[in-house]
Amino acid sequence: MRGSLGATSGLATAILAVTLATPGVAVATPTASWHPCPEDSTADCATIRVPVDWNDPGGPTFDLAIARIRATDSAHRIGVLTTDPGGPGGSGIDFILHRFDADGVLRQRFDIVSWDPRGVQRSQPARCSAALLAEGPTEYPASEADYRHLLDYNAELGADCRAHTGPVFDHLDTTSTAKDMDAIRAALGERQLTYYGVSYGTEIGQRYAELFPDRVRAMTLDSNVDHSVTSTYQYLADNTADFENSFAEFADWCDREAGCALHGRDVRAVWDQLYARARAGRLTDPSTAEPMSAADLRAAAFDPMYHPDPEWPKLATRLAALADGTASGAPVLARPAVRHGGRDDLGDDTYQAVWCEDYQYRVSGFAELDGYRRALDQIDPHTHLSMFFSDVTGCLNWPAEVTNPQHRLSIHGTPPILVTASRFDVGTPRSWSLAVHRQIANSVLLNYDGVGHGDYFLSPCARTAIETYLTDLRTPVPDSHCPAVWPSAAASDLSESTSDSYPAELIGVRNG
């Protein structure tokens, strides 16, 4: 694995000698013809042909878009580091082109490779009618009629997405994506891969390690999805608890940080008053004069919990503006634009299309779903409900088959796998990372004692530990801890709604 890759012609020759041995099927090794990326001529881009259905390798194929940035220290190059930023829906190509420091250890020692997973942007994106996407329910169903409307809407939207996306729509599950990653390995001519996955990217890594344990050189799973959770209520409860606890940490930070716009006020009381007004239909964003629902208010607080620095100071300023009725200079809630897939009449719905092939949510009807909502509303008295309630509601009556349902991990024969967990994480609750650690016998746990999502991007301590492991294969002491990093500066430019170090849109935050 050491040494730089040769020229394109040499690479193509090496590729032909590599066997892509997907369990149970024989597949021809894909080839890649590299060219400068349109977005960055210093990076290489290519496409490889992969099967639409890995169970039918001789059937239809599509182009999977991949990108590579070469190791800056070619004399000490270790090999290939593959990475995926999460979502589902995050572009791996955008991720590596913009989010890895040129002078960082990983850039020096690895060719960093990522891809737009099937259903994402450059790789046969999941496209649906933009008008139909705009009609989607944005809050939990409040009545039996709302529930029936939700089921009908999901069936209609799914059929529309299938028609616009094509055959790959029914093969967007994570097992297929893990096999795509192995096709990338084969196309690169590599015997093994080093992998860093964050958020949903951990589910890709977990599945890859199950299928191809001998092809893993090293693997870090940062902020884990626990794909073994079968209880619909438990899934909702885990997410909601970490939102409540993260908000409590935010309130406590405001109490001790003089630069917080709510310093000296009872933050929980301010929030509860705003929430009551939103539920009653009496809350308006003073910067836009638009009404804000309870779901809008939750979304405004939910996204900043991914990255306390720099988002908490901004959140405090916005909540103070709401409470005082003064314009803050920017909308309290920056509503995401519908991403269009090259046509104004189509939007992307990758998150829902992928998630609903990976998760089977068993809900008997409105009464059961509403019972979950009411229970969580009482257990978590301030934030009430995670934004990921829509994970469940979005998959009810979705027409695609659940081809990769929840299951306990069965990973054997890999080198040590480094698992990291934040103390509170609204995107992937700590309980999930701990469960993944317990399910992987040969894993080492690294704790980040702060709030947020994506420990590599939150903690210098975690970053160093992850880089040391990926480069030198030295894991940290098992169950070691990295100290919390808290914001200290006053609010920065409020027009910037997400952290520069790791944008929330890459990890599939859903405001629905």
Tell me if 22 sits within 8 A of 179, measured CB to CB: yes
Is residue 376's pLDDT more than 70?
yes
DSSP class of residue 400 equals S
Residue 330 has what pLDDT? Answer: 74
Q: DSSP H helical segments within 257-349, as ranges?
A: 267-279, 294-302, 308-324
Residue 23 has what pLDDT? Answer: 53
What interhelical angle do 294-302 and 267-279 show, nearest 10? Answer: 140
Residue that the structure tokens 């884990």 belong to: 224
Residue that the structure tokens 């001790």 belong to: 256
Residue that the structure tokens 């084969």 belong to: 186
Is residue 8's pLDDT more than 70?
no
Residue 26 has what pLDDT? Answer: 54
CA–CA distance, 220 with 127 (Å, rounded to integer): 31
Q: Are strands 44-51 and 110-115 parallel, antiparallel or unpaired?
A: unpaired
Residue 2 has what pLDDT? Answer: 30
Residue 292 has what pLDDT? Answer: 95
pLDDT band with cut points at 50, 70 and 90 for residue 139:
confident
Tell me if 105 sits within 8 A of 78, measured CB to CB: no
Is residue 66's pLDDT more than 50?
yes
Residue 489 has what pLDDT? Answer: 62
Is residue 322's pLDDT more than 80?
yes
- Least trusted range by pLDDT, from 120-124, 329-333, 482-486: 329-333
When pLDDT is averaged across residues 102-125 and rounded to a whole number, the result is: 95
Residues ≥6 apart with Cβ < 8 Å to 235: 229, 361, 388, 391, 392
When pLDDT is averaged across residues 49-75 and rounded to a whole number, the result is: 96
Residue that the structure tokens 């016998």 belong to: 441
What does the angle CA 508 – CA 511 – CA 512 come to, to the nearest 5 degrees? 115
pLDDT, tens digit, for every residue of 243-270?
Answer: 999 999 999 999 999 999 999 999 999 9
Q: Is 63 helix (H, G, I), strand (E, B) or coil?
A: strand
Instruction: Give the helix/strand (H/E) hosting 463.
Output: helix 460-472
Is residue 282's pLDDT more than 60?
yes
Instruction: Say which residue, 86 or 281, is predicted with more confidence.
Output: 281
pLDDT band with cut points at 50, 70 and 90 for residue 460:
very high
Residue 113 has what pLDDT? Answer: 98
Residue 488 has what pLDDT? Answer: 87
Average pLDDT over the chain reads 89
Residue 103 has what pLDDT? Answer: 79
Four-point Cα dihedral 117, 457, 506, 399, nearest 10: 70
Tell me if 86 sits within 8 A of 139, measured CB to CB: no
pTM for the complete prediction? Answer: 0.91
Among the CATH numbers 3.40.50.1820, 1.10.10.10, 3.30.420.280, 3.40.50.2000, which is that of 8-126+168-230+405-481? 3.40.50.1820
pLDDT, tens digit, for every residue of 192-217?
Answer: 999 999 999 999 999 999 999 999 99
Residues linked to residue 45 through DSSP beta bridges, in sequence order: 35, 67
CA–CA distance, 389 with 393 (Å, rounded to integer): 7
Tell me if 37 sits within 8 A of 20, measured CB to CB: no
Residue 120 has what pLDDT? Answer: 97
Other C-beta atoms lying within 10 Å of the C-beta of residue 227: 23
When pLDDT is averaged across residues 337-361 and rounded to a whole number, the result is: 83
For the CA atoms of the chain, what is the radius of gyration?
A: 23
- Least trusted range by pLDDT, from 367-381, 440-454, 478-492: 478-492
| CA distances in angstroms from 75 to 14, 70, 72, 495, listed in the order given | 20, 12, 9, 43
When pLDDT is averaged across residues 61-69 and rounded to a whole number, the result is: 97
Distance of CA 346 to the CA centre of its chain: 23
pLDDT, tens digit, for every residue of 164-190?
Answer: 999 999 999 999 999 999 999 999 999
Residue 498 has what pLDDT? Answer: 40
Is residue 93's pLDDT more than 70?
yes
Is residue 11's pLDDT more than 90?
no
Tell me if 31 sits within 8 A of 48, measured CB to CB: yes
Instruction: Say which residue, 337 or 455, is predicted with more confidence.
Output: 455
Is residue 13's pLDDT more than 60?
no
Is residue 497's pLDDT more than 70?
no
SS (H, E, C) 209-233: HHHCHHHEEEEEEEEECCCCCCCHH
Over pLDDT 70: what percentage of the chain? 88
Is residue 72's pLDDT more than 80?
yes
Residue 15 has what pLDDT? Answer: 32
pLDDT, tens digit, for every residue of 389-403?
Answer: 999 999 999 999 999
pLDDT band with cut points at 50, 70 and 90 for residue 6:
very low
Q: Where are the domains of the chain?
A: 8-126+168-230+405-481, 233-336+490-507
